[in-house]
Amino acid sequence: MRERRGIMAKAVGDFIKFLGTAGARFVMITQRRSSAGVLYSLGGFRLLVDPGPGCLVRCHASRPKVDPSKIDAILLTHGHLDHAGDANVMIEAMTEGGHDHRGTLFAPNEALEGDPIVLRYVRSYLGHIEVLGEGKSWELAPGLTLATPVRHQHSAETYGFQLQTEGLRISHVADTLLFPALVERYAPCDVLVVHVVLHEVDAERKRRIMHLDVADATWLIGAVRPRVAIITHFGMNVLQAKPWEVAARMSETTGVRVVDARDGMVFSLDEWKDG
């Protein structure tokens, strides 16, 4: 049996909970994997990332349940449905139907004004709305910062992000084509989360779809050299190739521990902190 270091049965300490691991439209619409997004919990601060279709249902179905009213902020890396389909209902849930004006929404301008996916009436329920942009950063809580180091190359305005707290830096590479600045902007880090939508595709199709494939992600992991990498956001071909086998080959190639995310997986961050 493969070693699954860091995987927990229950959420204790600082962790990442993968509510869903679906990538792109076909896995989303078939629900071969859930498209519910990712929950980061750091120092008690809870950041929900990319609440796609099914996020609210998955929160309530989780064991233990994820209480939406305890979420502190929601981040949309971009406005595509697999990343933001449940954004409005999660804002409703986070703010208890708008009765508790609280929480922060982080989103690209395009998702708010260009081709808006967040309804205007639910925006009034929030405590703050922050527009993502290249080189911006925010203090989420004392000792916890969020940064969006570079705009990604994708079909919508898209940003990955970094989370930093004492002794730990996490880089989360959302949907994008591979380009050199990804390495310099996301390294160094302790934990690297990478969206791997494609398995093996030719360069022309990759440029059209604007996603990383397995070869791109392998190169990126090898170049950034985190202490551990987690692959997620799988397209149909990656699922057919068995993500756990893909991750094992990536580990062998890069020398970096690579974990394939699974729906409901809780990944402990405490053991990856310095000191």
For residue 82, the enclosing domain spans: 7-133+143-269
In-domain check, residue 274: no
Please tell me the predicted confidence (pLDDT) of residue 2: 43
Q: How far apart are CA 43 and CA 23, in angstroms?
A: 28
Instruction: Let me know if residue 2 belongs to a domain.
Output: no
In a domain, 250, yes or no: yes
Residue 1, in any domain of the structure: no
Any domain includes 129: yes
Q: How far apart are CA 65 and CA 166, in angstroms?
A: 28
CATH number of the domain to which 173 belongs? 3.60.15.10
pLDDT for residue 17 is more than 50:
yes
With b for 16 or more beta-carbon neighbours within 10 A and e for fewer, the 226-258 pattern comes to: bbbbbbbbbbbbbbebebeebbeebbeebebbb
**CA distances for 60 relative to 7, 30, 69, 232, 260, angstroms:** 21, 21, 11, 22, 24
| Count of structural domains, the chain | 1
**Does 112 map to a domain?**
yes
Q: What is the pLDDT of residues 92-132, one digit of tens each?
A: 999 999 999 999 999 999 999 989 999 999 999 999 999 99
Interatomic CA distance for residues 71 and 185, integer angstroms: 28
The residues with which 39 forms a beta bridge, in sequence order, are: 17, 48
Which of the 8 DSSP states describes residue 51?
-
Query: How far is CA 63 from each of CA 5, 172, 266, rounded to the nearest angstrom?
Result: 20, 25, 11
Whether pTM exceeds 0.85: yes
